[in-house]
Amino acid sequence: MLKFVFLFLTASQLLFAESKKCDLDKYQKSLDEVQTLELNFDQYVNEKYYSSGVIYLKKPDKMLIDYNKGEINSIILINGNVITYYDKDLEQFSHLPKKNLPIYEVLKNKIKLSDLQIIKCEKIGNSYQINFLHKDDFFNGEFAFSFDLIDFSLKKISSMQNNEIIALNLKILNKNTEISDKKFIIKNNNL
């Protein structure tokens, strides 16, 4: 189950790629302009299992993923160097050592799209998709970021690994608006 929840979770060392053939500048600029972000997401695993929720991002080091419908009922919180996983059904907390999350690292500008091991870039319908490979202790496989062709915003994140396809469809609610630091605190009433 953690594999589904931690779609974003991957560890270090993204390799440099031959990305010269890809048109990355306008998509990178769109990501660079983000300071805060609130978005809804729908997550599908192998087009069968469905979950949805909201993601909050505040640069440079805060991210909250709140699953609130479907197969997964949990919260993932990154606040500085700590990842907290809270299972709402079991009312249990887990604290994990910080790993690098591709989408989180790209959004907070720690890595650039051109740093990814890109295997292809292509226009698909109204999107521009950038596929890249990633290998670490937790995830091995192909990932994809899909951007809107009109406003260049990130619209979809996909992971293809171990015969599983995990897709997150994103809908931006607010960009560069104030998000309180209190949003990135989960209280453990058992302490």
Q: What was the pLDDT predicted at 98?
A: 60
18-32 burial, b at 16+ Cβ within 10 Å, e below that, comes to ebeebebeebbebbe
Give residue limits of the domains in the chain. Answer: 15-173
Q: What is the pLDDT of residues 122-171, one digit of tens each?
A: 999 999 999 988 766 556 678 899 999 999 999 999 988 778 899 999 99
Q: What was the pLDDT predicted at 105?
A: 64
The CATH classification of domain 15-173, taken from the options 2.30.30.60, 3.40.50.11540, 2.50.20.10, 3.30.420.40 = 2.50.20.10
Dist CA 93 CA 112 (whole Å): 32
**pTM assigned to the model:** 0.80
Q: What is the pLDDT of residues 8-58, one digit of tens each?
A: 333 222 323 334 578 899 999 988 888 999 999 999 999 889 999 999 999
